Structure 1
Amino acid sequence: MRRSFPSAVMALAGLALAWTGSPAAAQDWPTRPVTLIVPFLAGGPIDVIARVQAQKLGEILGQTVIVENVGGGGGALGAQRIARGTPDGYIFVMGNVGTHAYHPTLYAKPLYDPVADFAPVGLTTESPRLLVARPTLPVADLKGFVAFAKANHATMSFGSGGLGSATHVPCLLVNQAMGVTVTHVPYRGAAPAMQDVIGGRTDYMCDSIQTAVPQVKQNNVKALAVLSAVRSPLLPEVPTAAEAGLPGVEADTWNAVFLPKGTPEPIVRKLVAAVNQTLDDPTVRKRLDELGLAIVPPERRGPDYLATFVKSEIARWAPAIQAAGLKVE
């Protein structure tokens, strides 16, 4: 009896596992609330985007979508949780260029493989970075900022939402273009980084357009340049970096949904369909448009496109990170 009891337990566990991974169980998904991991603190740009989409996504899935913030490591800790997560469809992540393009080059020992450890669902939105400075910085435009930075870079600092985050690497491009080295101050999220720019404790940051614009309009920070090929309709008076005399600084960011690797295909397909339906909802589209986000068109959505896109983005950003000599041990 003592020898057979563990065997019986193992048999029952095997039956349970077989059931949860069965096609029928996958087709019934979801039967309980699902969790969307935002790999940054609440109040940051990714958090805003996720919460706009989560409510509608829950309505479509017929279950509550719980948004859980897991900050740290420039988004790496939250993404790592998905890479190691149970592939049952009940946990997925809103990744971005930082978590899935910068990470493998940035880390000497990456916490995960952005390609091999995830089941891609699809791109959702894109947006430019905005270079903003503290309100007391004695400059009026990008030209003045460049001159000031060249003269004072040894005593200046810039903030970001974490080492290797999508608010960190774009500022490295700015610094490289100016030919200066500035002290980097990493935070656990973009929101506290912005608060220190507003308070004058750091000099500048490269924030997401959707969270930076309200601060610009309230005169809490100075908008110096849009780090994109074109101006933003939210701030049409603010030039691109190239227009203002600093060419080669384009740092559009993107957001995308990923499941753990090995998630059953029927679940992946259902989440793909639900995410696409969410992006096509007029109310969601209106809100994302108000935030200055571009919704990815249908031809650039889906798992296949995202899988190829992530590989190309890793290759695109590797030279800039390597040129900056940036490496997390």
Structure 2
Amino acid sequence: MHEDDRNARPAVLVVELHVVIGGQMRHRSPLSSRLRHIGHAVSDGSWDACPSNCYSGLGLEDRMGRLPRVVAVALVASLQCIGPVLSQDWPTRPVTMVVPFAAGGPADTVGRILASSLSELLGQQVIIENVGGSGGMTGSARVAKAAPDGYQFVLGNVGTHAANQTFYKTPLYNAATDFAPVMLIAQTPLVLLARKDLPANNLKEFIAYAKANQASMQYGSGGAGSASHLACVLLNAAIGINVTHVPYRGAAPAMQDLIAGRIDYQCPDTPIAIPQIQSKMVKAIAILTRDRSPSLPSQASAHEQGLTNFDASNWFASFFPKGTSAAIVDRLHAATLATINTPAVQTRMREIGADLVAGELSSPDYLQKFVEAEIEKWAGPIKASGVSMD
């Protein structure tokens, strides 16, 4: 160290009114404790206390020798330290949960059950924003392209983060690489529902009626590439019918038209299906998971009604944009895990037919592997069906 560098000790504003003057810490902000060791290194002349990786990769290595030590340390601290510190303070303002479907649908229902408890645990309001379109891809793409600062995350599902990677010829994002996975939250069965005056009471009668009337029939979904669309695509292919598809901006508008008799059938999740089945506003034909659902124990599955090994279900998971810090991911993960372990949330999830995920299946690492496996799982049936979108 040059003698004049040691004696100079210029005053330098590091971050947020944290000033190092003559080796003394003045006007300490909450960041000052994070940077105190740097100030000590400067005051006692031990420049080596700041390891070389403090500034490696910043393009400053060859210039450090020409800067007064205090200035150099302050510059490094500003660039390197502020990010992790802010991550640990997250959130300092409301957080947006993007539900990529219309209000009132299954994803919206699950999101609103979670939001209240998440708000309480995080200490900031979690605001739900419904951004529908393209089977959930529009809202999910917005999050994929958002700043990775922890203030937007998406509640994705099998349609937005698995099936659409094959269903769309040019999807707006790569579901496996453009997001930071947080947690697989719940899984829900899909149900074949028909308008209440459709002359069929079970799957065998539905198949017979659909084959005879397919030219004039219509089925609805929460949008092209959504879980409810893909389930019906697979069902139609399995029973050998070609029926006109009517896409909506979410499962809720599709349900309204099914109740009104404007479409003939759809394949929604249990959260939106159960209330309508219980009120007898629609007719339940089959659960589309291989086995019966605990939430609808009296409803026979498609498999047991003769459509051997047919299995279609949905799931919900949270994702930040790629590049979000691990500290923020871990904080939301912990809050979500605590939320689904509260009795009130567990009760509501049971009421809507959602099976909560637990144990090792809830980790971010598992969700990453799960998404990759789901993309591969759905690729085969979608390609075999011959259905795709530009």
Partner of 1:6: none
Counterpart CA distance in 2 for 1:46 and 1:52 is 10
Residue 232 (str. 1) matches residue 293 (str. 2): yes
Structure of greater relative contact order (alpha carbons < 8 Å, 6+ residues apart)? 1
SS in structure 1 of the partner of residue 223 of structure 2: coil
TM-score by length of 2: 0.79
Select which of 319, 325, 328 maps to 1:264: 325
Is the CA contact 1:122–1:306 (under 8 Å) kept in the aligned structure 2?
yes
Work out which of the two has the higher radius of gyration on C-alpha atoms and give 1 or 2: 2
CA shift digits 1:179-222 (9 cap, x unpaired)? 11111110111011011111111100001111111111111110
Partner of 2:382: 321
Residue 136 (str. 1) matches residue 197 (str. 2): yes
SS in structure 2 of the partner of residue 93 of structure 1: strand
Residue 311 (str. 1) matches residue 369 (str. 2): no
Is the CA contact 1:19–1:25 (under 8 Å) kept in the aligned structure 2?
no
Select which of 339, 343, 346 maps to 1:285: 346
Partner of 1:69: 130
Show the 5 A alignment for 1:58-137.
58-137=119-198
Partner of 1:40: 101
Counterpart CA distance in 2 for 1:302 and 1:87 is 20
Residue 219 (str. 1) matches residue 255 (str. 2): no
Partner of 1:51: 112
Counterpart CA distance in 2 for 1:292 and 1:174 is 21
Counterpart CA distance in 2 for 1:127 and 1:20 is 42
Is the CA contact 1:234–1:292 (under 8 Å) kept in the aligned structure 2?
yes
Is the CA contact 2:295–2:350 (under 8 Å) kept in the aligned structure 1?
no
SS in structure 2 of the partner of residue 168 of structure 1: helix
Partner of 2:240: 179
Offset at residue 285 of structure 1 (A):
0.9
Is the CA contact 1:177–1:248 (under 8 Å) kept in the aligned structure 2?
no
Offset at residue 131 of structure 1 (A):
0.4
Counterpart CA distance in 2 for 1:185 and 1:21 is 50
Counterpart CA distance in 1 for 2:156 and 2:81 is 26
SS in structure 2 of the partner of residue 92 of structure 1: strand
SS in structure 1 of the partner of residue 268 of structure 2: strand
Partner of 2:253: 192
Is the CA contact 1:150–1:180 (under 8 Å) kept in the aligned structure 2?
yes
Runs of 4+ in structure 1 off by over 3 angstroms are 17-21
Change (3 A) 1:204 1:20: farther
Offset at residue 20 of structure 1 (A):
9.2
Show the 5 A alignment for 1:242-253.
242-253=303-314
CA shift digits 1:76-97 (9 cap, x unpaired)? 0010011100100011000000
SS in structure 2 of the partner of residue 292 of structure 1: coil
5+ long unaligned stretches in structure 2: 1-74
Change (3 A) 1:224 1:21: farther
Counterpart CA distance in 2 for 1:21 and 1:126 is 38
Offset at residue 233 of structure 1 (A):
2.5
Offset at residue 269 of structure 1 (A):
1.1
Alpha-carbon RMSD: 1.6
Number of equivalences: 316
Is the CA contact 1:21–1:264 (under 8 Å) kept in the aligned structure 2?
no
Offset at residue 299 of structure 1 (A):
1.5
